[in-house]
Structure 1
Amino acid sequence: GTPVFLMHGFPYDIHAYAEVAPLLAQAGCRVIVPYLRGYGPTAFLSPVTPRSGEQAALGADLLALMDALAIPQALLAGYDWGGRAACVVAALWPERCKGLVSFNSYNIQNIAQALVPDSPDNEHRLWYQYYFHSERGRAGLEKDRRAVTHLLWKQWSPTWTFSEDTFEKSARAFDNPDFVEVVIHSYRHRFGLVKGDPAYAEIEARLATQPPITVPTITFDGADDGVRQPSSTGPHAQRFTGTRSHRVVPGVGHNMPQEVPAVFARAVLELLTPQR
């Protein structure tokens, strides 16, 4: 069937798509749900490879996986870090992307503008990012990964009632020995506080131009997202130069595919239907 990559975010894992994947498979799709680098059983082949969490690395990983599986083109869907990986591939290699489902719209970071202050209401939502900029934050995440990530789950999806078992299924992925380093690098690199992996410098340079996304796209925001407030306009909207439909989902926080799996799956199938 049509290949579909479902990309999870931070601090989540492949269980975010536990109910989405079967719906797509039943509709005839070939569904691939990979762990991001630093999560679950992923491992770096060399001890000297930088444990980079930068956006170029995430996009390059997705592209490399498509190449390894000999998949020339696929529909890409994701949110948070995973949505960023999908946006990177859709923007820079549109010929590899049949369509895009992206939570929080255009998810490519504008690092050059990262130190421009936002409104106080938006700034306070990013406390965890500023926390990770410090060595105290690194130590705090290393000391108790579950406590930090559990708090973020609650703050980011305030209307989602998840069980402790549901959280623990995903939290096991954070026990990866590279998890902390990848996370810390991600949140420092996006503010220009640390250098990226030189292997991805060319990709980062292309992303710095804020390239448009030209493929057919459905974007979502959660009405109750505790990280990013819904917005259908502004500079992000202007980055989509192809067909785009934007929707705000009531009662949904930041972990959309796990909160409303049927809605997420329908969006994927909606993009695929004209191509069947």
Structure 2
Amino acid sequence: MSCSSESEAVVAEAARENSLEPVDGVVRSKPSILLGVVKDSEIFDFCMCNPPFFESIEEAGLNPKTSCGGTSEEMVCPGGEQAFITRIIEDSVLLKNSFRWFTSMVGRKANLKILVSKVREAGASVVKTTEFVQGQTARWGLAWSFIAPRKMVIRSSTPGKNNHSFMLQGLRREYGAFQVLKSAETFFHASNLSCKTDSSLFSIDVTLSDEQAQAAMLHDESGSVEGSSAMLHSAVTGTSFCISVFEQMPGTLLVRGSLSNKALSGIFSSTFSQLEDTLKMEFQSKAR
């Protein structure tokens, strides 16, 4: 038996098992893709799909600008990509606790809007889209999750923390980690803080002057005036705190601050809070 015949036999068997019986209220007319493959005890970070884009091999060759190489088994399925991804969306409802993220490539922008609506109707708590462009070919990415996003923002007003972070979400594709890093650098220069940027690591080392460090410690409730000279020497020896920018997924960046000296926790919290407000105003307001 050929690989194609074996695949058809598997699909036919799955269709008989899944075509008529509703499962947890989800009525199916097509075989499942993920059900029966994922075990009850298995937990995954994400599911990634590159679906068959076309309904027929003839359709696959209609537009030479968007055509792609592959066999009919790889590129073609009944109903095309919309039907295939819809089946994954249906499966995701039943496997919502097995995957943190479900993701799929989408070949047609017209299908993206339809699929986003289906994901929202399925009850996903988070839905994300992005665009990929290479040469003359454009593709879209669709991601969804039924798990509520964890609160990533640690309010900078909380004293005594050595690490703070916040998320920049919904960014336009022209804004990435490098642009955010340069804006953070501009912010520190405008605040009269000395900083050294490492573009390869997407990080900024910030160092306070003697006067700034002394003023910070004298106003820090956790510090004391006595012995401040020794604390001051420790504070200004090397980096005071470090800012790093990480790309979590397209359109989403994590900005993290790490304090090198607890004596400066007050000014670190205050400065990081101002940086958060500045970057969100600059980048998230442009995303709307």
Taking structure 1 as the reference length, what is the TM-score of the superposition?
0.27
Please state which structure has a larger fraction of its residues in helix: 1
Rg comparison, structure with higher value? 2
Please state which structure has a larger fraction of its residues in strand: 2
